[in-house]
Amino acid sequence: MSEITAEGPDTAQAPSRPPKEVIYRHKLTTRVTHWVNVVCFTVLLMSGLQILNAHPALYWGQFGADDDHAFIQFYASRSDGELAGHTRIGSWRFNTTGVIGASPGNDGELTVRAMPSWATLPSIRDLATGRRWHFFFAWLFVINGLVYVGASLVNGHFRRDLLPTRRELGPRHILRDLWNHARLKFPKGDAAKNYNVLQKAAYLGVAVLLALLVLTGLTMSPGFNAAVPGLLDVFGGRQSARTIHFICASLMVAFVIVHLAMVFLAGPINEIRSMITGRYVVPPEDRK
């Protein structure tokens, strides 16, 4: 972290309140690629759910069709005139009426639809348009990711901010960070100027998920299969790649939910401002 500056009221007039310490936390490239990723992932998720609606079942292996046994399935059933939505994962089945399998239509009545209209792009059933949105933003997402990785290697962001040190990988250090997070105790003072080991692990894990999303997406492309047929073997077939693609996207959604929760709990104004302007107000240490 660099460009540390001090701002705040004159200490002679208010000796009880120390000046605010402001650091330049995020470089311009990091901020721009972050917000481009936000837009890309949102569009990719919603258009991906539109594509899933065309055949809401996921398989393992090379083949997958209506007569094959699905590994994951989103469907509806009708009993005594009542429509119900379901999600099945392996042998586990969950009632997801109102959201997945069966959700309210424009008239407010339940209709058979794997993913609800508010979660898909476009909101109506339109596979062709959904594919166009998905493929365009997928390439934008890849280009943006390459820019971020290249800039992070050049400016030292990866080595300085994301790579855990040997001390941070110690069991005692990891357990202490886990305990602090469980108590919602966020770092302050000098400790707040750098990512903690759990943040670093989460961001590196996200990088792996994003790489898998890209590779499995390419594996589902017949054109790319002709150029690089080995990817089919790596992921065990096109249908397995589709399932892994969905699982990775679901894990990304879980990460986003946790990430937003942490931003809100840590102080949303300060956290979001730092990702817009780059400047972060360091929370002062508690007085003893």
Q: What percent of the chain clears pLDDT 70, i.e. is strictly above it?
A: 91
- All structural domains of the chain, each given as residue ranges with its CATH number in brackets, are 27-56+119-282 (1.20.950.20), 63-114 (no CATH)
Distance of CA 197 to the CA centre of its chain: 18
Q: Which helix (H) or strand (E) holds 53?
A: helix 28-54
Q: Which helix (H) or strand (E) holds 270?
A: helix 268-277
Instruction: Tell me how crowded residue 192 is: count the other CB atoms within 10 A of its CB.
Output: 21
Instruction: Tell me how crowded residue 196 is: count the other CB atoms within 10 A of its CB.
Output: 20
Instruction: Tell me how crowded residue 205 is: count the other CB atoms within 10 A of its CB.
Output: 12
Instruction: Dump the DSSP string for 135-196.
Output: HHHHHHHHHHHHHHHHHHHHHSHIIIIISPPTTTTSHHHHHHHHHHHHTT----GGGGGS--
The per-residue pLDDT for 11 is: 47
The per-residue pLDDT for 43 is: 97
Q: How confident is the model over 165-196, as pLDDT tens digits? A: 888 889 998 999 999 888 888 888 888 888 88
The number of residues making up the chain comes to: 288
Q: What is the phi/psi pair of residue 118, to 5°?
A: -70, -15
CB 246 within 8 A of CB 58: yes
Q: Residues near 73 by Cβ (< 8 Å), separated by ≥ 6?
A: 56, 57, 58, 86, 87, 88
Q: Band of the pLDDT at 6, cuts 50, 70, 90?
A: very low
User: Average pLDDT of 127-141?
Assistant: 95
